[in-house]
Amino acid sequence: MTETMIPAGDAQLCAEAFGSPDHPAILLIGGAAASMDYWEDEFCSRLAAPGRFVIRYDFRDTGRSTAYPAGSPGYSGADLVTDALAVLDGYGVAAAHLYGISMGAGIAQQIAVDHPERVLSLTLQSTSPTGPLGPDNPDLPPMSAQLAEMFASEEPGPDWSNRDAALAALVDGLRPFDGAIPPDLDGERTVAARMYDRTADIAASQTNHWILEGGGLERGQLARITAPTLVLHGTADPLLPLPHGEALAAEIPGARLVPLEGMGHQYPPRAVWDTVVAEVVAHTAGSPGV
């Protein structure tokens, strides 16, 4: 595996691929404030093993991609959509299977509506028919009280220049998003440490995605999605409870929902890897070369 720098407008995006470029591509699009490190190496390798070309990348302000001053991102939510297409262009991929989590699933939905020719299929995890933190809808339940309090808090964050304090904050910050599956604290710290050490400006990475403007779909636009769609959703998601996943699957023609028992709002924990990998591999079968 070799990291590759890909131009995207005024930015450089760091990406990495698993498997052979001769195989159908799966582009992994992560959640807000998360580098590609959260798509763990072993998980990516397991997706690639049955004959897939798996690509992960750092958003702007994460990992080795271009960083902007904390609190002043020089880009919009719409730029994150075109960045995903730039990554595909960088690898010479005309169309790919898109697998997005949370904010990344919102980006994947936008691409499927605006650029359907680039999408072989969609896998949408831990998201909603209104985007990860979209406008209120009366039929969709709110986030947990603990998360609502956390998002409303004005307490200052850690000293991000202090590695130990930053790693503790990154790991502790995952707890309100947990479901019923016990967390792997050692594994989470390993990923957080890798992200911290690769990220140009950790303060920007933990600030700028939350204040972006632009991007996002109206709920009614989802009916325009023609790509085969798999919806994965944790049964214990405290940010976007399971009815968000159910509603998303109902809005996209032909979409199929797979509830993941006990999972919260998170990258797939190892406890569900067997299910997730099997579902994604089956869902991405049937494209050229498979």
Catalytic residues: 102, 237, 265
- Strand order across the 53-57 sheet: 4-8, 11-18, 53-57, 25-29, 96-101, 119-125, 229-234, 256-260
Please enumerate in sequence order all residues whose Cβ is within 8 A of that of 14, keeping only pairs 6 or more positions apart, or say none: 3, 4, 5, 6, 36, 57, 58, 63, 64, 65
Give the span between the Cα atoms of 74 and 86, in whole angstroms. 17
In the chain, what are the helix, strand and coil shares in percent, each to the nearest 5? 40, 15, 45
Q: Report the greatest alpha carbon distance in the chain.
A: 52
Identify the three-state secondary structure at position 260.
strand
Give DSSP secondary structure letters for 99-116: EEETHHHHHHHHHHHH-G
Give the span between the Cα atoms of 149 and 168, in whole angstroms. 20
- Contact predicate 116/252, CB 8 Å: no
What single-letter amino acid sits at 246?
E
Which whole-number Å values give the CA distances from 4 to 64, 93, 98, in the listed order?
A: 10, 15, 19
Give the Cβ contact number of residue 175 at 10 Å. Answer: 13
